[in-house]
Amino acid sequence: MNWIIKRAILAFLTIYFAASLTFVVVRSMPGDPIDALTQQLVYQYHMTYEEARALAESIAPYVPKGNIFEEYIDYMSKFLRGDLGVSISYSTGTPVVELLADRIPWTVLVVATSLIISFGAGILIGMLMAYKHGGRLDSALALIFSITRSLPEYIVAIIMLSIFAFQLKWFPTRGAYSVEPGFTLEFVYDVLYHAALPIMTWVIVHIGGWALGMRGSTISVLGEDYITYARARGIPSRRIVFTYIGRNAILPIFTSFMISLGFMFGGSIFIEYIFSYPGVGLMLYQAITNRDWYLMLGTFDIIVIAVVTGTFLADILYGFLDPRIRRGVR
Amino acid sequence: MARVEKVKKIKSDIMETMALLSRKTVIKEIIHDWVIVPGKVLIKNKKAFVGFLILMFYIFMATIGPYITPYPRSFTCPIYLKPTLLKWPPSLEHPLGCDYFGKDIWAQIVWGAPIVLKIAFIAGLITTLVGITIGMIAGFKGGIVDSILMSLTDIVMTIPGLPLLIVLASVIRASDPWVIGLMLSVTAWAGLARSIRSQVLSIKEREFIEAAKALGLSTGHIVFKEIMPNLMSYIAINFIFATTGAIYASVGLYFLGVLPFTSFNWGIMLNMAYAQAGALHSINTIHYILAPILAVIGLQVGLILFSYAVDEMFNPRLRTEL
């Protein structure tokens, strides 16, 4: 119990530290949102600078002005109450929380689906590799996976987009849906159709890591005495594979599964940017290019909270899953 | 009594070896350690040998390349010229074709190589050094220093690196490879620090360290002569991974356009091809985006393949077999 409280404090500190760090960094950014908006107006509507500046100031009255320290206190106290301020670039004054609520489901959909697919397939392939380890199939797969694992996802995404969306025209090139949203079968199908390429990209990049991790973990379990003993006792091999080896080998991998859920949230920027997928990552990118301070901070903080929560839950769950820890041997 | 005997024996052994190590033998040792053994490992390990050749190619490209390849200027060749290497007869005039500015693509790849490699190397170096230092201090000092450092490491480890990098890059607007390298290692060192610490903790308890301590050897000697060699393969592998991570992140940041476009870089080419030239839409311009993609993939593959041999090269236990 003590240990959980310690972990919770550390998780809280992490969020606090990251949020403060980015607050200071973002506030020291050159060019404030009004500058960015003015520039945009001059560029788009060919206004004079004075006109554009006046217009920008009138449509962006929410730009924080004042002492950075006071602002920090103000931001943090609101942050604790779940108020992340308002956006400047999105229809002036929309609460950041509202914008994020629109975007989070899309990122979660893509990230969670890809994680489940790549985890499931990776685990199975990894176990297969471990049984055949040293063989030709195993070494070929190990080589391929160690390469795909190190491929940058933006490169995989560009290749996928180029081949399957632009050349073959099998999949849409951008967005999350193209029909009227609603609880219809058509909409669900459309959403999956749009999410297919981002998901495939994630799976290609991540499956190797899971497979190699599971392979290593299974090989080390295979060498344990209790497996030899179970075989000697004549337990059916199917049971040995799943309950004896599988369960013990998955345990260390499962922690990284939880952690990944959080981290993929943060890694979604490239994929969402390339597929113009309206998730949290794309929002962070847009907020940065628009110099939309509060939106930037809010999006970053949400990503941090997702990652920290994932890691925290992973630690707690691991404690419950591993009987050695559960019974307090550690 | 037996312990004293043992210590005496070790002491005399050390004296003996020290006497043997004249300057000449030291140089021989260094050549043996850094040239002959790695060479033997490379010849035996085919994958690593291929990786080594690929890396050599990139290093040549980055060092000699800009001297023998003309600077990529705009409007020096027909816009969107197809790669001339694929034509018959192949020509070296514009081997990979030209972009929408009439700049030679091969020349852009070559002129981008030094900066990509420099950033990757610097970031890898800083990440590894910080990781080793923090991990070593935490593992050695223990107690309150250890808890503080490890809490810090845990915090840094859970901060999502990429979003933080994008925010940092858009604020700092750096173009100097040292600054970019430093930026890339802001969160990357934490994983290495943690594992170095646990390695130090386990090595610290081994007999030979106890023996060295009993002999009254200095901490510096123990750290650099006794513990370091045992961590060397570990550090080398992590250096390679840090380097691939830095290539991923730096090219990605250039691709997103959050770093200023001041020099040639494969990430800038990717950005131009993707966002400006629309190279995805048409098969006629595909070579423009394919060139930086292959350049990045090739380098990553080279590093990964080379990493297969690193363990054999630096792990003292595996090396005795050679």
* pLDDT tens over chain A, length 330 residues: 677 888 888 888 888 888 888 888 877 766 666 776 777 777 767 777 777 777 777 665 555 566 777 778 877 887 887 777 777 766 666 777 888 888 888 888 888 888 889 999 998 898 888 888 778 888 888 888 888 888 888 888 888 888 887 777 787 777 767 666 667 777 777 777 778 888 888 899 889 888 888 888 888 877 778 777 877 887 777 777 777 777 777 777 877 777 777 777 777 888 888 888 888 888 888 888 877 778 888 888 888 888 888 888 877 877 777 666 665 544
pLDDT at B130: 93
- DSSP type of residue B283: G
Cβ distance A273 to B252 less than 8 Å, yes or no, reads: no
Cβ atoms of residues A107 and A268 within 8 Å: yes
pLDDT at A20: 85
Chain A residue with CA closest to B300: the answer is A150
What's the alpha-carbon Rg for chain A, to the nearest Å? 24
Is B258 an interface residue toward A (CB < 8 Å)? yes
What distance in Å separates the CA atoms of residue B298 and residue B50, rounded to the nearest whole number?
11
Which parts of chain B register pLDDT below 70? Answer: 1-2, 15-24, 74-76, 78-97, 100-102, 277-284, 315-322
pLDDT at A329: 46
- DSSP type of residue B82: P
- Those of residues 218-247 in B touching chain A at CB distance below 8 A are 244, 247
Is B296 an interface residue toward A (CB < 8 Å)? yes
Cβ distance A155 to B163 less than 8 Å, yes or no, reads: no
What distance in Å separates the CA atoms of residue B56 and residue B302, rounded to the nearest whole number?
9
Query: Which of A53, A99, A95 has the alpha carbon at shortest distance from A78?
Result: A95
pTM, two decimal places:
0.82
Is A285 an interface residue toward B (CB < 8 Å)? yes
Find how far residue A138's CA is from the centre of its chain: 30
pLDDT at B129: 92
What distance in Å separates the CA atoms of residue A84 and residue A97, rounded to the nearest whole number?
6
Q: Kindly list the residues from chain B whose CB atom is less than 8 angstroms away from the CB atom of residue A166.
A: 280-281
Residues in a beta bridge with A95: A86
pLDDT at B19: 64
Cβ atoms of residues A320 and A326 within 8 Å: yes
Is B294 an interface residue toward A (CB < 8 Å)? no
First and final CA of chain B: distance in angstroms?
Answer: 37
What distance in Å separates the CA atoms of residue B250 and residue B312, rounded to the nearest whole number?
30
A247-274 and A280-289 helices cross at what angle (nearest 10)? 40
What distance in Å separates the CA atoms of residue A285 and residue B257, rounded to the nearest whole number?
10
Q: Compute how many other C-beta atoms are within 10 angstroms of the C-beta atom of residue B117.
A: 20
pLDDT at B124: 92
Shortest CB distance from B159 goes to which of A14, A269, A299?
A: A14
**How close A237 gets to chain B, by Cα (Å)?**
33
What distance in Å separates the CA atoms of residue A316 and residue A11, rounded to the nearest whole number?
12
Cβ distance A300 to B164 less than 8 Å, yes or no, reads: yes
Is A161 an interface residue toward B (CB < 8 Å)? yes
Q: Kindly list the residues from chain A whose CB atom is less than 8 angstroms away from the CB atom of residue B160.
A: 262-263, 265-267, 303-304, 307
pLDDT at A244: 77
pLDDT at A163: 81
Question: Quick one: B103 exposed, middle or buried, by C-beta within 10 A (0-12, 13-18, 19+)?
Answer: buried
Q: Kindly list the residues from chain A whose CB atom is less than 8 angstroms away from the CB atom of residue B289.
A: 158, 162
**How close A182 gets to chain B, by Cα (Å)?**
31
Cβ distance A266 to B162 less than 8 Å, yes or no, reads: yes
**How close B298 gets to chain A, by Cα (Å)?**
10
Structure tokens at B6: 């043992």
Q: Compute how many other C-beta atoms are within 10 angstroms of the C-beta atom of residue B310.
A: 22
Find how far residue B285's CA is from the centre of its chain: 32
Sequence-ordered strand ranges (E) for chain B: none
> Which residue bears the tokens 């940058």?
A152
The set of residues, in sequence order, having a beta carbon less than 8 Å from that of A226 and lying 6+ positions away, is A244
Shortest CB distance from B252 goes to which of A25, A154, A284?
A: A154
**How close B22 gets to chain A, by Cα (Å)?**
44
pLDDT at A236: 77
Mutate to test the interface with A, among B149, B194, B280 (most CBs of A within 10 A): B280
What distance in Å separates the CA atoms of residue B255 and residue A155, rounded to the nearest whole number?
10
Cβ distance B161 to A266 less than 8 Å, yes or no, reads: yes
Is B255 an interface residue toward A (CB < 8 Å)? yes
- Those of residues 125-184 in B touching chain A at CB distance below 8 A are 151, 154-155, 158-164, 166-168, 170-171, 173
What distance in Å separates the CA atoms of residue B2 and residue A280, rounded to the nearest whole number?
67
pLDDT at A330: 41
Cβ distance B160 to A30 less than 8 Å, yes or no, reads: no
- Those of residues 39-78 in B touching chain A at CB distance below 8 A are 47
